């Protein structure tokens, strides 16, 4: 229970800080005068770097445990967040937002936390456990967004960012609780995979590649909404508070979605294919975006849309992590799930960057919404050919 609380609490603080950054896009743009495209580039680089750091952090965590990785990651999130108001160039924003804050959040992110949880719970309880950890990240977003908006209204956006940096440091004690969850060596007579062998087998596995392709689309959706939903709200003529509450609704309903998918996975015991769950989630997103684009925009409509998208927002993570563990086992879980997260964040880079560029060029997000729908349909279809059985271990004899 302590490990589960530590993992969920860490994800709540790092994910809450990261997913609430969209509240400051307008203020950063006004402060720097760089233009929405340049600011979006910094956020987009952060999406990419958050993904790229995860397999590297996973390699360290798989070998020596997550404790050291989490300490460094949390410290970098706080440092990068505090430096954002001091950045006045595109390069400075990329360093603060994209390298430090996002990189730290990647080190203290889902690949390390999900692997730590997966190793310490029974296989039949892993779905619910990873759902709880994932819900922690959602709770952080629900909590951070309205608090930061209130601080911004009372004391300004710089004070809100500094407060967020300090709050993030509360995750440091969790590193102690998670320090002893490195992968344990097998018996001397059992073949053991090196990290290189595990990565090579995963990249050559057809179902792993399909899973990564679907997760690319998830990253596009998540990053576009997290970065640009407040601007979408503002472009509809609604007050800034609606944008903050829309982000909070994403987090709140993602708690329900994460716990719901975790419960479904634990109850099904393999009777409900994980690939079908994922296909249903992506199809739901396609329908929700289509209805939002066609409907008249109001506060109620925005919040309902945020609630529906929140229920599917990160509910893809537990079944995706479970499939990686099912394919290859828990030994290299942090590394291999980190590889899937790279694909997720390449999609995130495009979602954050294209959102800003398209709006800057056209004055609306219509083209991005259309692409969002097409990608969601494609993701629903690409999961159907996945084969869920474990892959035969490919390794040299010990």
Average pLDDT estimate for 80-85: 94
- Range of lowest pLDDT (185-194, 219-228, 243-252, 329-338): 185-194
What pLDDT sits at residue 275?
Answer: 93
Determine the pLDDT at residue 40: 85
Residue 268 has pLDDT above 90, yes or no: no
**Residue 185 — very low, low, confident or very high, per pLDDT cuts 50/70/90?**
very low
Q: What is the pLDDT of residue 182?
A: 52
Decide if pLDDT at 313 tops 90: no
Average pLDDT over residues 359-376: 92
Q: Which residues are CB-contacts of 228 (< 8 A; sequence separation ≥ 6)?
A: 22, 25, 40, 352, 355, 356, 359, 365, 368
Could you give the domains of the chain? 2-180+193-382 (1.20.1250.20)
Residue 326 has pLDDT above 80, yes or no: yes
Q: Which residue has the higher pLDDT, 193 or 273?
A: 273
14 contact partners, CB below 8 Å, separation of at least 6 = 73, 74, 77, 104, 105, 108, 109, 137, 140, 168, 171
Q: Is the pLDDT of residue 192 over 60?
A: yes
Instruction: Supply 80's token pair.
Output: 């990068």
pLDDT at residue 181, as a whole number: 52
Q: What is the pTM of this model?
A: 0.73
Question: Which of 86, 92, 120, 96 shows the shortest CA–CA distance to 46?
Answer: 96
């Amino acid at each position: 229970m302590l490990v589960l609380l530590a993992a969920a609490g860490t994800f709540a603080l790092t994910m809450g800080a990261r997913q609430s950054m969209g509240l400051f896009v307008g203020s950063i743009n006004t402060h720097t005068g760089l233009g929405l495209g340049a600011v979006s580039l910094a956020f987009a680089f952060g999406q990419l770097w958050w993904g790229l750091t995860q397999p590297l952090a996973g390699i360290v965590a798989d070998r020596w445990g997550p404790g050291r990785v989490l300490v460094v990651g949390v410290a970098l999130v706080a440092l990068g967040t505090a430096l954002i108001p001091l950045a006045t160039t595109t390069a400075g924003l990329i360093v603060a937002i994209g390298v430090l804050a996002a990189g730290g959040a990647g080190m203290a992110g889902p690949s390390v936390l999900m692997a730590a949880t997966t190793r310490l719970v029974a296989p039949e309880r892993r779905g619910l456990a990873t759902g709880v950890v994932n819900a922690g990240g959602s709770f952080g977003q629900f909590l951070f967004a309205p608090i930061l908006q209130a601080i911004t209204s009372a004391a300004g956006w710089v004070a809100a960012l500094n407060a967020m940096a300090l709050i993030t440091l509360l995750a440091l004690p969790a590193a102690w609780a998670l320090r002893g969850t490195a992968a344990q060596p097998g018996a001397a007579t059992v073949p053991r995979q090196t990290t290189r062998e595990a990565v090579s087998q995963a990249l050559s596995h057809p179902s792993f590649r399909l899973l990564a392709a679907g997760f690319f689309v998830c990253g596009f959706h998540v990053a576009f909404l997290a970065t640009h939903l407040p601007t979408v709200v503002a472009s509809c003529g609604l007050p800034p508070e609606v944008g903050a509450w829309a982000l909070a609704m994403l987090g709140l309903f993602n708690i329900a979605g994460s716990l719901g998918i975790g419960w479904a996975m634990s109850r099904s015991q393999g009777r409900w294919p994980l690939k079908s769950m994922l296909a249903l989630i992506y199809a739901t997103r396609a329908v929700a975006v289509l209805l939002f684009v066609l409907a008249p925009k109001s506060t109620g409509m925005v919040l309902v849309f945020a609630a529906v998208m929140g229920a599917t927002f990160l509910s893809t993570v537990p079944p995706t992590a479970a499939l990686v563990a099912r394919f290859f086992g828990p030994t290299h879980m942090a590394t291999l799930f980190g590889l899937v997260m790279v694909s997720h964040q390449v999609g995130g880079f495009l979602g954050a960057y294209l959102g800003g560029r398209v709006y800057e060029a056209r004055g609306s997000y219509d083209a991005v919404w259309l692409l969002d729908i097409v990608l969601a349909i494609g993701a629903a279809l690409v999961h159907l050919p996945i084969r869920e059985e474990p892959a035969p271990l490919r390794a040299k004899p010990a």
